[in-house]
Amino acid sequence: MTHFKPDFARDPRMFDANASGSSDLGDLPEWDLTDLYPAPDAKEIKRDQDWLEESCRTFAADYEGNLASLEAEDFLDAVRRYEKIDTVAGRLMSYAGLRYYQHTTDPKRAQFLSDMQDRVTTFTTPLVFFGLEFNRLSDEHVENLLAASAELARYRPVLERMRAMRPYQLSDELEKFLHDQSVVGASAWNKLFDETIAGLTFTVDGEELNIEGTLNLLSEQDRAKREAAARELARVFKENVGLFARVHNTLAKEKEVEDRWRGMPSPQTARHLSNHVEPEVVEALRDAVVEAYPRLSHRYYALKAKWLGLDTMEVWDRNAPLPMESERIVPWDEAESTVMDAYTAFDARMTDLAKPFFKEGWIDAGVKEGKAPGAFAHPTVTTVHPYIMLNYLGKPRDVMTLAHELGHGVHQVLAAGQGELLASTPLTLAETASVFGEMLTFRKLLDQAKDQQERKVLLAGKVEDMINTVVRQIAFYDFEVKLHDARAKGELTPDDINALWMSVQGESLGPVFNFMDGYETFWAYVPHFVHSPFYVYAYAFGDGLVNALYAVYEEQGEAFKDKYFDMLKAGGSKHHKELLAPFGLDASDPAFWAKGLSMIEGMIDELEQMES
C-alpha cells in the first residue's frame, strides 16, 4: 500500500551545499495543502479513514481465497477497487507527511503523522493477501486473464512487478506481521533520524545555524568561513555519531534479516526489483562511472585547485565558488522566470504544466525552523497534484534545484493520467524529467552568457552538479554496498562506518584532496542511506540517461518533443527498454553509459581549453 516517502525525488545537491537565509529573496511561496484536506481536524479526514477501514474489510471479505475463481472482468473490478483504496490511503499519508516535513520538530505534527501511519497500516493489513494470493496463480492462468480483457491487460506492468516478488514471498501470516510491524520498524527509525537532523544546531562565528545554513557556508567565497563551517559540522556529527551509527546498524540489520528470510540474493535486489531494472544494467553503470573517475572528478578538481590557487584542496574547497564567480543573490521572481523561460523555450506545453506550481501554492520554498533539509517533489495521488519542497535562499545552485524539482512535478502531472497504480515511475526513470529540466535551464543560461568568464562559471557549475549527481552518487552506492556487507557480519562501531566512508572518498574525488579530521563522519546526515537503501544509483542512471536523451534532442529537434512527452506520460506503464526505444537508446548497452559520461568529459575539455 501507499506510504508517504518523498525521498525518491530529493535532489542530490542537498548532500553538499544548500541555502541559508537572506532578506533579498522576495516573497517565497508556501504550500496550500487544502487541496488534500482543509485541516488536520477536518471532517473529510474522518470520512476518508472510515471509508478506508470499511473498504479494506469488504475487499478482503469479497476476494480473499477467491482470486483463482475470478473471471477477467471480476478480477478487473478487484484491481480497480484496490486502486481506489491505494488512492485514499495515499491522500491521507501525503497530507500527514507534507505537514510533518514542513516542521519536523513540532510534536503535534509528528504525532499526527505517527497516528495516521498506525491507522492506515492497521486498516490496510487485510489487503496483504492480495499480492500473495495473486502470486500463487499459475503463469498460464494470469495470461488467460490478461488475454480476456484489454482493460485488465493495461495493468500488466503492475502485475508483472508483483510477480517479480514471487521467489521472495513469505507466508501470508509472516507478510501480515511485517506489514503491521512496519510502523515500529524502519519508519520509526526514519522519523528519529529526521527529527534529530532537523534539531541539530551549529555555531559558526558566533551565529547559531541549522544544518541547512551550515551546509550553505561550504559554498561561500570566504575560505575561512568554509573551513569554520566544515569543522563545526564535523564537531556536531561526532557528538551525535553514536546515535547515527545505531540508526544505521539497526536498519541494515533489519534489512538483512528480512532479505535472508525472503531469500534475496543481495541487499540491492529489492531496490533493483522496485526500480524494474536488471542488476547487470546497474553494475554496468557503476563500473563505467568508477572507471571514469580519473577522467571526470580527478581531472576537474585538479583544474579547480589551480583556479583557487591551491596545491591541495581541503574538503571545504570542493563546493567553493570560483574566484571570478558573482556572489549575487538570485531573488525568487528571477529564479522563477529563469526556469520558466527555459521550459517555455523547449515547448509551450511545459509552461502550461509548470505554471500552477507557482500560482496555486504547490511549492514551499523558504528555510524555516524545523523544516526538513534539502528538496523533494512528492506526487501525492493522481487525483490531486504534486507538491515541491525547497530550501531556497538565492544561490545559483538553488535555481538549478528549482529546475530539477519542477521537472519532477511536470513528470508527475503528466503521468497522473495513468491512474494510481501505473503512474508511479521507477526511480531510475523518475530522475529523467528532473535532470532534463536542469539541462534545459543550463543550456538557456549558457546561450545567454555575455562573455567567456560567465561561460566558464556556468560550465564549471554544471560539471560540479554532474559530478555530484554521477560520481558522488556512485561512490555513495559503493559505500552502502560495503556497509550492508559489513553489517551482515556483525555490529559496526562508528569507527567501522567511518572507515567504510573514507574508503570511497579518495578514490572518487582524487589525489588533489586532503581530508580533514572529522570528515569521516559526514555519512551521518545523508538521508537516502536511512530512508531508501541503494536509492542513490538512480541519480547517476538518470543523469546518464538525460545526457544521451539531450544528444538525441539536439539531433532531432522538433521531432524529439512529442516522443519526450509520451515518455513522461507513460509513468510506470513501460519498462525502460520500451521507453527508450523510440529514441534509439538502450540502457543495457554498455556504450550507452559511455555516451552519457562523454558529455561531462566534453565540458571538462572545454574548461581546460579555456586555460590554454
User: What domains appear along the chain, each with residue ranges and CATH number?
Assistant: 24-187 (1.20.140.70), 332-463+538-573 (1.10.1370.40)
Grid cell at residue 282: 546497474
Q: Is the pLDDT of residue 16 over 90?
A: no
Mean pLDDT of 478-506: 97
Q: Dihedrals φ, ψ of 512, to 5°?
A: -75, -10
Question: How far is Cα 21 from Cα 100, in angstroms, rounded to an integer?
Answer: 21
The amino acid at 134 = F
Q: Is the pLDDT of residue 57 over 70?
A: yes
Q: pLDDT tens-digit profile of 124-153?
A: 999 999 999 999 999 999 999 999 999 999
Q: Is the pLDDT of residue 58 over 60?
A: yes
Q: pLDDT tens-digit profile of 422-454?
A: 998 887 788 889 989 999 999 998 988 889 988
- Record the pTM: 0.83
Higher pLDDT, 421 or 6: 421
* Rg for the chain, CA atoms, rounded: 24
Q: 529: closest CA among 12, 1, 4, 3?
A: 12
Taking the chain, what is the end-to-end CA distance rounded to the nearest angstrom? 58
Are the CB atoms for 91 and 384 separated by under 8 Å? yes
Q: Is the pLDDT of residue 520 over 80?
A: yes
Measured CA to CA in angstroms, residue 289 lies from 472, 505, 510, 595 at distances of 10, 14, 14, 11
- Within 10 Å of residue 78's Cβ, how many Cβ atoms? 19
Q: pLDDT tens-digit profile of 250-292?
A: 999 999 999 999 999 999 999 999 888 899 999 999 999 999 9
Q: pLDDT tens-digit profile of 64-91?
A: 999 999 999 999 999 999 999 999 999 9
Q: What is the pLDDT of residue 10?
A: 45
Under the banding of pLDDT at 50, 70 and 90, the label for residue 591 is: confident
Q: Is the pLDDT of residue 21 over 50?
A: no
Mean pLDDT of 532-542: 91
Q: What is the pLDDT of residue 7?
A: 37
Q: Dihedrals φ, ψ of 447, to 5°?
A: -65, -30
Is 139 exposed, middle or buried (CB count within 10 Å of its CB: 0-12, 13-18, 19+)? exposed
Report the range of poorest mean pLDDT among 136-145, 209-218, 331-340. 209-218
Higher pLDDT, 4 or 387: 387
Under the banding of pLDDT at 50, 70 and 90, the label for residue 20 is: very low
Looking at every residue in the chain, the average pLDDT score rounds to 92
**202 three-state secondary structure:** strand
Mean pLDDT of 187-214: 93
Measured CA to CA in angstroms, residue 238 lies from 46, 234, 241, 394, 523 at distances of 44, 6, 5, 30, 11
Question: How far is Cα 351 from Cα 98, in angstroms, rounded to an integer?
Answer: 25
DSSP string, 349-380: HHHHHHHHHHHTT-EE-S--TTPPSS-EEE--
The amino acid at 310 = L
- Within 10 Å of residue 134's Cβ, how many Cβ atoms? 19
Q: Is the pLDDT of residue 4 over 50?
A: no
Q: Is the pLDDT of residue 15 over 80?
A: no
Under the banding of pLDDT at 50, 70 and 90, the label for residue 612 is: low
Grid cell at residue 398: 538553488
CA angle 498–500–501, rounded 5-degree value: 65
Are the CB atoms for 131 and 178 separated by under 8 Å? no
